[in-house]
Amino acid sequence: MEKTREVTTFQAATILISTMIGVGVLPLPLFAVRSGDTGAPFITVLGIGIGAIALIIITKLGLRHPNKTIISYSEDIIGKWLGKIFSLLVILFFLVLTALAAREFGAVVITAVLLETPLEVTVLVMLLLAAISARNTMNTFVYIHSFYIPIILAPVLIIVALSLKNANFLYLRPFIASDLKDSFNGALTVAALLQGSFLMTLIIPTMKNPKSAVKASLWAIFISGGLYVLIVAATVSIFGTEEIKKLYWPTLELARTTSLPGNILQRLDVVFISVWVIAVFTTIFASYFLTIQSLKEYFNLQDHKMLAYFLLPFIFTLAMVPQNILQLYDIILFIGKVGLIFTFFYPMVLYCWDLIRNKRGSKDESKQA
Amino acid sequence: MSVFRHRTRRKKKLPIDEIPSKQLEEGPKKISGTLDENVMYMKEMLGESDDFVIKHFKVFGKVSAVLMYVNSLTDQNRINNDILKPLMYKPEHLLKKDILLDELISILFSEILYDSKAKLNSEFDELVNVTLLGETVIVIDGIEEAIHIDTRKVDKRSIDSPETEQAVLGPREGFIENISTNIALVRARLPTADFVVKTMKIGRLTKTTVAFCYIKGIASEQVINEVEKRLSEIDIDAILDTGYLEQFIEDNPFSPFPQTQSTERPDKTVSNLVEGRVAILADGSPFALLVPVVFNQFYQTFDDYSSRFLMGSFARLARMLALVFSLIFPSLYVSFISFNPELLPTEFAVAVAGGRAGVPYPAVIEVLIIEISMEVLREATVRMPKQVGGALSIVGVLVVGEAAVNAGLASPITVVVIALTSIGSFATPAYVAAFALRMLRFPILVLAGIFGLYGVVVGVIFIFNHMLSLKSFGVPYMAPVSPGNSQGMKDVVIRSPLWWMPNRPNFLKPVNRDRLGAQNNKELQHNKLGNDQREDT
Tell whether B426 is within 8 A of chain A (Cβ).
no
**Which residues of chain A have a CB within 8 Å of the CB of B484?**
10-11, 146
CA B477 to chain centre: 19
CA dist., res. A276 & res. A153, Å (int): 10
**Which residues of chain B have a CB within 8 Å of the CB of A267?**
342-343
10 Å Cβ neighbour count for B171? 17
Alpha-carbon torsion (A344, A288, A207, A142), positive or negative: negative
Residue with the bigger pLDDT between A122 and B383: it is A122
Across the beta sheet with B63-70, the strand order is B52-59, B63-70, B135-140, B146-150, B119-121
Whether residues A278 and B457 touch (CB distance < 8 A) is answered with yes
Per-residue model confidence (pLDDT) at position B122 = 86
Interface test with A, best of B447, B454, B481 (most A CBs within 10 A): B454
Per-residue model confidence (pLDDT) at position B48 = 79
Whether residues B457 and A133 touch (CB distance < 8 A) is answered with no
Residues 268-327 of A with CB under 8 A from B: 270-271, 273-275, 277-278, 281
Nearest to A22 by CA among A293, A250, A278: A278
Nearest to B127 by CA among B151, B97, B149, B143: B149
Per-residue model confidence (pLDDT) at position B529 = 58
Mean pLDDT of B463-486: 90
Interior CA angle at A110 toward A108 and A112, to 5°? Answer: 65
Mean pLDDT of B436-456: 93
Q: Residue B355's pLDDT band (boundaries 50, 70, 90)?
A: confident
Per-residue model confidence (pLDDT) at position B531 = 58
Tell whether A348 is within 8 A of chain B (Cβ).
no
Question: Which residue from B344, B462, B483 is facing A143, i.e. has the nearest CB?
Answer: B483
Mean pLDDT of A341-351: 90
Summarised one tens digit per residue, pLDDT across range B21-62 is 555 556 667 888 788 888 888 888 887 788 888 999 998 888
Whether residues B454 and A274 touch (CB distance < 8 A) is answered with yes
Whether residues A114 and B340 touch (CB distance < 8 A) is answered with no
Whether residues A129 and B462 touch (CB distance < 8 A) is answered with yes
Per-residue model confidence (pLDDT) at position B165 = 84
Q: In this predicted complex, what is the ipTM?
A: 0.92
3-state secondary structure of B89: coil
In chain B, % of residues over pLDDT 70: 91
| CB burial of residue A88 (10 Å; 0-12, 13-18, 19+) | middle
Q: Residue B537's pLDDT band (boundaries 50, 70, 90)?
A: very low
Mean pLDDT of chain A: 88
Using a cut of 0.80, tell me whether the model's pTM lies above it. yes
Question: Which residue from A11, A273, A278 is facing B483, i.e. has the nearest CB?
Answer: A11
Per-residue model confidence (pLDDT) at position B512 = 86
What residue in B sits closest to A138 (Cα-Cα)? B469
Highest mean pLDDT among A255-269, B300-314, B344-358, B457-471: B457-471
Interior CA angle at A326 toward A321 and A330, to 5°? Answer: 75
Q: Residue B534's pLDDT band (boundaries 50, 70, 90)?
A: low
List the end-to-end C-alpha distance of chain B, in Å, as a whole number. 65
Per-residue model confidence (pLDDT) at position B302 = 87
What residue in B sits closest to A118 (Cα-Cα)? B451
Whether residues B484 and A132 touch (CB distance < 8 A) is answered with no
Q: How far is A184 from chain B (nearest CA, A)?
A: 37
Q: How far is B470 from chain A (nearest CA, A)?
A: 8
The class of domain A9-347 in CATH terms is: mainly alpha
Tell whether A214 is within 8 A of chain B (Cβ).
no
pLDDT(A286) > 90:
yes
Question: Which residue from A11, A122, A266 is facing B343, i.e. has the nearest CB?
Answer: A266
3-state secondary structure of B262: strand
Note the helical H segments in B234-308.
242-249, 266-275, 302-306
Q: How far is A199 from chain B (nearest CA, A)?
A: 19
Alpha-carbon torsion (B97, B99, B103, B104), positive or negative: positive
Mean pLDDT of A31-48: 90
H or E stretch at B146:
strand B146-150
| CB burial of residue B208 (10 Å; 0-12, 13-18, 19+) | buried
Residues 466-485 of B with CB under 8 A from A: 468-469, 476, 478, 481-484
Q: Residue B192's pLDDT band (boundaries 50, 70, 90)?
A: very high
Mean pLDDT of B383-395: 75
Interface test with B, best of A274, A284, A302 (most B CBs within 10 A): A274
Question: Which residue from B342, B452, B476 is facing A267, i.e. has the nearest CB?
Answer: B342
**Which residues of chain B have a CB within 8 Å of the CB of A115?**
none
Q: How far is B227 from chain A (nearest CA, A)?
A: 23
What residue in B sits closest to A142 (Cα-Cα)? B483
Mean pLDDT of chain B: 85
Tell whether B531 is within 8 A of chain A (Cβ).
no
CA dist., res. B295 & res. A147, Å (int): 14
Summarised one tens digit per residue, pLDDT across range B204-256 is 888 899 999 999 999 999 999 999 999 999 988 899 999 999 999 999 999 99
pLDDT(A368) > 50:
no
Mean pLDDT of A288-316: 91
Q: Residue B447's pLDDT band (boundaries 50, 70, 90)?
A: very high
**Which residues of chain B have a CB within 8 Å of the CB of A110?**
none
The DSSP 8-state label assigned to residue B264 in this structure reads S
Highest mean pLDDT among B36-40, B76-80, B266-270: B266-270
Q: How far is A323 from chain B (nearest CA, A)?
A: 24
What residue in B sits closest to A275 (Cα-Cα)? B457
Pairing of strands B146-150, B208-215: unpaired
CA dist., res. B275 & res. B240, Å (int): 28
H or E stretch at B409:
none
Total beta-carbon pairs less than 8 A apart between chain A and chain B: 92
Tell whether B510 is within 8 A of chain A (Cβ).
no
Whether residues A8 and B483 touch (CB distance < 8 A) is answered with yes
Q: How far is A148 from chain B (nearest CA, A)?
A: 9
Nearest to B508 by CA among B470, B477, B536: B477
Per-residue model confidence (pLDDT) at position A36 = 82
Q: Residue A2's pLDDT band (boundaries 50, 70, 90)?
A: very low
| CB burial of residue A169 (10 Å; 0-12, 13-18, 19+) | exposed
Q: Tell me the sheet residues that pair with A124.
A: none
**Which residues of chain B have a CB within 8 Å of the CB of A132?**
462, 465
Residue with the bigger pLDDT between A16 and A171: it is A16
| CB burial of residue A234 (10 Å; 0-12, 13-18, 19+) | buried
Mean pLDDT of B62-73: 90
pLDDT(A1) > 60:
no
Whether residues A277 and B454 touch (CB distance < 8 A) is answered with yes
pLDDT(B12) > 50:
no
Q: Residue A255's pLDDT band (boundaries 50, 70, 90)?
A: confident
| CB burial of residue B269 (10 Å; 0-12, 13-18, 19+) | buried
Q: Residue B405's pLDDT band (boundaries 50, 70, 90)?
A: confident
Summarised one tens digit per residue, pLDDT across range A207-226 is 988 889 999 999 999 999 99
Q: Which of A10-24, A45-59, A173-187, B321-335 has the lowest mean pLDDT?
A: A173-187
pLDDT(A317) > 70:
yes
Q: Residue A178's pLDDT band (boundaries 50, 70, 90)?
A: confident
Whether residues A266 and B346 touch (CB distance < 8 A) is answered with yes
pLDDT(B70) > 70:
yes
Whether residues B343 and A270 touch (CB distance < 8 A) is answered with yes
Read out DSSP for B96-114? TSPPPHHHHHHHIIIII--
10 Å Cβ neighbour count for A179? 13
Nearest to B283 by CA among B204, B199, B213, B225: B199
CA dist., res. B296 & res. B479, Å (int): 8
Tell whether A8 is within 8 A of chain B (Cβ).
yes
What residue in B sits closest to A273 (Cα-Cα)? B454
| CB burial of residue A360 (10 Å; 0-12, 13-18, 19+) | exposed
Q: Residue B316's pLDDT band (boundaries 50, 70, 90)?
A: very high
Tell whether B462 is within 8 A of chain A (Cβ).
yes
pLDDT(A281) > 80:
yes
